[in-house]
Amino acid sequence: MATQAEIDTQSEEAAFREEVKQFLAENFPPELKGKSNALASVEGPTNENDAQAKWRKAMGSRGWGTPTWPKEYGGGGLSRKQARILNEEMAKVGAFNPIGGMGVMMFGPTLLEYGSEEQKKEHIPPICRGEIRWCQGYSEPNAGSDLANLQTMAEDKGDHYLVNGQKTWTSGGQWADKCFCLVRTDRSDKHKGISFLLIDMDTPGVEVRPIQMISGMSPFCETFFTDVKVPKENLVGEEGQGWTIGKRLLQHERTNLSGGGAMARLMGASMSDIAKKHLEVGEDGELADKVMRDRIADFEIRWNSFLLTARRATEESKAAGGVSDIASVLKKLGTKLGQERAEMLIEIMGYQALGWEGEGFSDAELAGTRGWLFGKATTIYGGSTEIQNNIIAKRVLGMLDHQ
Amino acid sequence: MAVLTEEQEMLRDMARDWASNESPVTEFRKVRASGDPKAYDEGAYGKMADMGWTGVIVPEEHGGSDFGWLSAGLVVEELGKTLTASPLVATTVAASAIILGGSDEQKAKYLPRLASGEMVATLAVDEGPRHAPETIETSVSGGKLSGTKAFVHEAHGADLFVVAAKDGLYLVEKGEGVSLSTRKMTDQRSHAEVTFEGAGADKLEGGGDGLLEDVLDRARILTAAEMLGMAQAVFDTTLDYLKQRVQFNQVLATFQALQHRMADLFGDLAMMRSAVEGGLQALDSGFGVARAASIAKAEANRVLHTMSREGIQLHGGIGMTDEYDVGFYLKRARILENAWGSTSYLRDRFARIGGY
Ligand SMILES: Cc1cc2nc3c(=O)[nH]c(=O)nc-3n(C[C@H](O)[C@H](O)[C@H](O)COP(=O)(O)OP(=O)(O)OC[C@H]3O[C@@H](n4cnc5c(N)ncnc54)[C@H](O)[C@@H]3O)c2cc1C
């Protein structure tokens, strides 16, 4: 027998499910069914059609694109359980979340934790509505893995900071409205001299130059700051607290880059299904190439173990109530497996997986080529695999630097 | 580590305390030195039984606690860490065969004795040096079983054998028609070739056509849990060692080349743990067991293989000595890798289950 409290929650849940169903019936444009969220990606310009715009506005006005964020700042204010119901119902009708990008993945959660009341009121609602695109101004030519070596200077000029310097690999910089930046406010201390600053990309003195990547896409930029005036109220946290805030943001980034669910969607069909389409199948229904079959099984076993690990990490961190260091382990494992998969698909599909453009290749095949090349970035950005190894060794395993 | 219930945590802690205090590797050394072919300490097994470990998967009505497979795995993992020599895995797997396929009478006759630790049992399947349940020759006529099982774990202590014959699984008690020929193997545990010559056999009629595979899956998963404990122990000892050992005026743990290898092993260990716990959870839920078992044992094989090799390498010369424990894990690792399916066997099985 369920208790009265349980019955109440059950009926609340049922009511919420009804509400979601109705909302989707009224607002989700059927022509978008099964499409993915191109808008949230940093890899392309905004070229929304009417249906996409309508869908983004509908979800944004409810805060349901950021379902568990507080309602007072424009989030959905939903419980985890409700967020899951929302996801389930969206999946049933083939709807995607039209709100995303770095604002949702990384900046929003960090600002909610470290920002002032005014900053949250100003910046979080437009993220929830999907109106503002954020980019990440961390890396510099001489500050990649050694991020704390950054040199972009923000000089205190009383009512504003004067920013000079150069960022690089700024993903989506050319399409972004704003940039969350790590800048140097003090040259005398490597880590404590760093501050977390928000910069409007249309401020005079900000210049972006897109760089073409091996995949043919140009989603990332060199960003130059020349005497850029940034109001003081755009400093997040205290001056000198930037390293702490910046690292927390990176934890969110890693968690997002490695989440099993996201990876699973990325992967699409199982490798064995693809192989059965492209390779010879014997009378027994098994792949005729036994070496390939063995390698596919090896991959799929490890891939399943990874998914189980991602699930286990989620359950554990929920039970323990916090972000866990396992984020580094997941990022390292998931990105490696993703790359391995892309390389194996080339072996399975042969030349058909190496098309660049034009006739003779399906859209999916061409996307596969680009995905394979772009995928090489996954073990570099968000802290390279080597840096994750350092984090695991030092922070998780306690293999410290002894002098 | 899977999120555990309070009951499971208590069980795990109890097993951990007992293993580290009462059954460290020095106990295994004593067993080895004694030369007893049974290769386990009966007193210690009696204590395990007193703590209820022998009945974890046995239904309450037959004297067990029915805590389930995840719980059984937790205990076995802890014992794996200290290489505790006991027939616990073998007996648990044999008991599962009776639970799945036994008649009420068979259950009532054997399960209480297995659960209480009074009786030890083991599974006898393979007839050659490689796992090949599809090529069994052992047969039964007129209730008499004949055949030879090549490598049977824990054979010397077993009072009861669950034997795979051409037409199904049979219970054979130690005694007339059953003879053992010892196979001394690298792990110095009990292994024997067991010859059955017209031994009295009682068929497990229940459980359907898939009974043997279902029992083997249980064997695979529980063995993988032991391997998980071993891998964890090798990892932990190696990490400790690297934090102590000084070369070039520096503690070895400060060398990045070694840090990255440990980080790689740590990632592998995380995958192995997820795969093994996934297998145990599949058994408890009764869903997707064959696939989960293939994943669990294949990952256990892969990771323990690497871990046991790296463990020795990272210890340097001291890792080659019998005085140091790490080599014991390597020797036991290869035995368990061969048990119930090598890596390639399990990949093949995983692919077949996946239809390719
Ligand atoms: C597609 C893509 C998008 C990106 N988007 C952004 C963005 O939006 N904003 C942003 O700020 N940055 C972005 N980055 C930058 C990214 O964070 C850096 O590329 C990354 O931190 C690595 O720095 P680096 O390129 O300078 O390489 P380096 O630091 O020069 O590293 C070169 C190699 O040396 C290894 N290495 C470095 N230090 C160590 C060490 N201590 N021990 C062992 N090995 C080491 C690295 O792992 C790597 O293999 C992006 C990068 C890519 C590829």
Q: What is the pLDDT of residue B117?
A: 97
Least confident of A377-386, B324-333, B338-347: A377-386
Q: A9 by DSSP, 3-state: which?
A: helix
Question: What residues of A are labeled active site?
Answer: 253
Is the pLDDT confidence value at A106 over 80? Answer: yes
The per-residue pLDDT for range B7-17, each reduced to its tens digit, is 999 999 999 99
- Place B289 in a pLDDT band, splitting at 50, 70 and 90: very high
Least confident of A199-208, A318-327, B170-179: A318-327
Q: What is the pLDDT of residue A316?
A: 83
Complex ipTM: 0.91
Token readout for B205 is: 């009629």
The helix (H) or strand (E) run that includes residue A167 is strand A160-171
Longest dimension (CA), chain A: 79
Q: What is the pLDDT of residue A9?
A: 76
The minimal CB distance from B344 to the residues A273, A294, A389 is found for A294
> Which chain B residues are closer than 8 Å to A400 by Cβ?
253-254
What is the DSSP-derived secondary structure letter of residue A143? B
**What value does the mean pLDDT of chain A take?**
90
Residues A399, B243: C-beta atoms closer than 8 Å: yes
* Strands annotated E in B69-213: 121-124, 139-141, 144-153, 160-165, 168-173, 178-182, 191-203
Q: What is the pLDDT of residue A260?
A: 44
DSSP assignment of B188-221:
-S-EEEEEEEEEEEEE---S-TTHHHHHHHHHHH
Closest-CA residue of A relative to B246 is A402
Residues B266, A392: C-beta atoms closer than 8 Å: yes
Residues B243, A298: C-beta atoms closer than 8 Å: no
Mutate to test the pocket of ligand 1, among B256, B258, B261, B264 (most ligand atoms within 8 A of CB): B256
Longest dimension (CA), chain B: 74
Q: What is the pLDDT of residue A258?
A: 63
Q: Find the mean pLDDT for residues A134-156.
A: 96
Q: What is the pLDDT of residue A255?
A: 76
Is the pLDDT confidence value at A261 over 50? Answer: no
- Place A39 in a pLDDT band, splitting at 50, 70 and 90: low
Q: Which atom of ligand 1 is nearest to the CA of A213?
A: 1
* Residues B100 and B128 sit within 8 Å (Cβ to Cβ): no
A377 lines ligand 1 (CB under 6 A): yes
Q: Find the mean pLDDT for residues B291-301.
A: 98
Which residue type is seen at B224?
A
A144 lines ligand 1 (CB under 6 A): yes
Q: Report how far residue B253's alpha carbon sits from residue B127's, in angstroms, rounded to the nearest whole number.
A: 46
Interface A-B, measured as beta-carbon pairs within 8 A, has a size of 128
The helix (H) or strand (E) run that includes residue A154 is strand A153-156
Q: Find the mean pLDDT for residues A37-46.
A: 57
- Alpha carbon distance, N-terminus to C-terminus of chain A: 63
Burial class (CB in 10 A: 0-12, 13-18, 19+), A357: exposed
Which residue type is seen at B16?
R
> Which chain B residues are closer than 8 Å to A286 by Cβ?
351-352, 356
Q: Report how far residue A245's alpha carbon sits from residue A238's, in angstroms, rounded to the nearest whole number.
A: 10
Q: Report how far residue B37's alpha carbon sits from residue A52's, in angstroms, rounded to the nearest whole number.
A: 74
Is the pLDDT confidence value at B32 over 70? Answer: yes
Q: What is the pLDDT of residue A46?
A: 65
Q: What is the pLDDT of residue A80?
A: 85
Least Cα distance to B299 among B334, B263, B337 occurs for B337
The per-residue pLDDT for range A359-379, each reduced to its tens digit, is 999 988 898 898 899 899 999
* Residues A301 and B294 sit within 8 Å (Cβ to Cβ): yes
Q: Find the mean pLDDT for residues B224-248.
A: 97
Is the pLDDT confidence value at A74 over 70? Answer: yes
Q: What is the pLDDT of residue A262?
A: 47
A258 lines ligand 1 (CB under 6 A): no
Closest-CA residue of A relative to B241 is A399
Is the pLDDT confidence value at A43 over 60? Answer: no
Is the pLDDT confidence value at A40 over 60? Answer: no
A173 lines ligand 1 (CB under 6 A): no
* Residues B229 and B80 sit within 8 Å (Cβ to Cβ): yes
Token readout for A25 is: 């019936």
Least confident of A10-14, A72-76, B140-144, B348-352: A10-14
Q: Which residue has the higher pLDDT, A265 or A185?
A: A185
A256 lines ligand 1 (CB under 6 A): no
- Predicted TM-score (pTM) of the model is 0.89
Least confident of A118-132, A321-335, B79-93, B130-144: A321-335
Distance from the B213 Cα atom to the nearest Cα atom in chain A, whole angstroms: 19
The helix (H) or strand (E) run that includes residue A254 is helix A242-258
Q: Report how far residue A106's alpha carbon sits from residue A256's, in angstroms, rounded to the nearest whole number.
A: 8
Query: CB-based contacts of A392: which residues, under 8 Å, 6+ apart?
Result: A325, A328, A329, A332, B262, B263, B266, B267
Residues A396, B259: C-beta atoms closer than 8 Å: no
On whether any CB of chain B is under 8 Å from the CB of A278, the answer is no
DSSP assignment of A334-370:
HHHHHHHHHHHHHHHHGGGG---SSTTS-HHHHHHHH
* Strands annotated E in A212-291: 220-231, 235-236
Kindly calculate the radius of gyration of chain B based on its CA atoms and give it in whole angstroms.
Answer: 20
The minimal CB distance from B253 to the residues A272, A389, A399 is found for A399
Least confident of A258-272, B57-71, B82-96: A258-272
A380 lines ligand 1 (CB under 6 A): yes
Q: Report how far residue A277's alpha carbon sits from residue A71's, in angstroms, rounded to the nearest whole number.
A: 48
The per-residue pLDDT for range A282-302, each reduced to its tens digit, is 999 999 999 999 999 999 999
Least Cα distance to B124 among B115, B114, B133, B116 occurs for B133
Is the pLDDT confidence value at A11 over 90? Answer: no
Is the pLDDT confidence value at A320 over 70? Answer: yes
What is the DSSP-derived secondary structure letter of residue B20? H
Least confident of A2-11, A198-207, B66-75: A2-11
Q: What is the pLDDT of residue B114?
A: 98
Q: B153 by DSSP, 3-state: which?
A: strand
Closest-CA residue of B relative to A402 is B254
Is the pLDDT confidence value at B199 over 60? Answer: yes
The helix (H) or strand (E) run that includes residue A308 is helix A290-320
Q: Report how far residue B160's alpha carbon sits from residue B71's, in angstroms, rounded to the nearest whole number.
A: 24
What is the DSSP-derived secondary structure letter of residue B172? E
**What value does the mean pLDDT of chain B take?**
97
- Tokens 């209820």 map to which residue? B52
